[in-house]
Amino acid sequence: MQRNRMPYAPAGQVVGLLGGSFDPAHDGHVHITKAAMERFGLDRVWWLVSPANPLKTRGPAPIEDRVARAQDVMQHPRVTVTDIETQLGTRYTAKTIAALQRLYPDVRFVWLMGADNLTQFHLWQDWQDIMARVPVGVLARPGDRISARLSRAARIYRDERLIGRAARLLGQTQAPSWAFTNLPMSQSSSTAIRATGTWGADADKDTSKSK
């Protein structure tokens, strides 16, 4: 893990940021990461294993455990699993992105998320500041394709959406801009894994989505 060490990215590269609880990481995360690199023209992706999602009431497993699992699951030369938010002392995405832009002024960042997060994106702290700072790449997720497209963020930023092949230029565009990509969808979810009782101290008690 890049513990106490910030990851490297050469000047001019486009780095996708996939923030998540990763409680635990699964093949759906791997699938959208590879798809995002290809569909959005990213040079690298950094996974930001979150100290805790501000909108989730359920406390996640210890970050060391989540990072270790994420590193087992995600092995790719252009993907780095990080605990950047713990190092920066940030929990809110807007603050994390602002800090990264200060630290890496020559790198272009793209925020990545599944369609379920676009649906509630307008509830995130300073979400319009995130839109103003970085292009956003959204990946289809089972059950959330329609609600994401009807979401408040999608409606407000309707004219800033890159359609079709233009999405490959996402990292080169000036924010606000965003793209939604359809892809063969993965049914995997951390909630489902926790429900099997194979992950986390309280996994067999937690069978419901805690968002």
Ligand X SMILES: Nc1ncnc2c1ncn2[C@@H]1O[C@H](COP(=O)(O)OP(=O)(O)OP(=O)(O)O)[C@@H](O)[C@H]1O
Ligand Y SMILES: O=C(O)c1ccc[n+]([C@@H]2O[C@H](COP(=O)([O-])O)[C@@H](O)[C@H]2O)c1
Residues that bind ligand X (CB under 6 A): 18, 20-23, 28-29, 32, 113-114, 116-117, 139, 141, 186, 188-191, 211
Position among 16, 19, 137, 200 found at the interface with ligand Y (CB under 6 A): 19
Question: Residue 179's closest CA among 143, 146, 142, 149?
Answer: 149
Question: Residue 135's closest CA among 7, 44, 14, 22?
Answer: 14
Position among 33, 82, 86, 93 found at the interface with ligand Y (CB under 6 A): 93
Q: Is residue 176 a contact residue for ligand Y (CB under 6 A)?
A: no
Is the separation of the CB atoms in 42 and 14 below 8 Å?
Answer: yes
- Closest CB to ligand X among 13 and 191? 191
Q: Is residue 119 a contact residue for ligand Y (CB under 6 A)?
A: no
Which residues face 113 on adjacent strands? 138
- Closest CB to ligand Y among 40 and 124? 124
Per CB under 6 A, which region of 8-16, 88-96, 137-145, 158-166 contacts ligand Y? 88-96
Residue 141 touches which of ligand X, ligand Y, none (CB < 5 to 8 A by kind)?
ligand X
Coil, strand or helix: which one is 149? helix
Q: What values do phi and psi take at 55, rounded to 5?
A: -95, -5
Q: Is residue 117 a contact residue for ligand Y (CB under 6 A)?
A: yes
Q: What values do phi and psi take at 157, rounded to 5?
A: -105, 30
Shortest Å distance, C-beta 106 to ligand X: 26
Position among 53, 82, 177, 189 found at the interface with ligand Y (CB under 6 A): 53
Is the separation of the CB atoms in 16 and 181 below 8 Å?
Answer: no
Q: Is residue 7 a contact residue for ligand Y (CB under 6 A)?
A: no
Q: Is residue 111 a contact residue for ligand Y (CB under 6 A)?
A: no
Question: Residue 209's closest CA among 197, 194, 187, 188?
Answer: 194
Q: Which alpha helices (H) appear in 104-144, and where do they start and end?
A: 115-119, 127-133
- Give every CB contact of residue 48 below 8 A, 6+ residues apart in sequence: 17, 18, 19, 20, 82, 84, 85, 96
Position among 15, 16, 20, 112 found at the interface with ligand Y (CB under 6 A): 20
Position among 48, 79, 100, 136 found at the interface with ligand Y (CB under 6 A): 48
Take residue 192 and report the two structure tokens written for it: 């489902």
Q: Which residues of this protein are in contact with ligand Y, per CB under 6 A?
A: 19-21, 48, 50, 53-56, 92-94, 117, 124-125
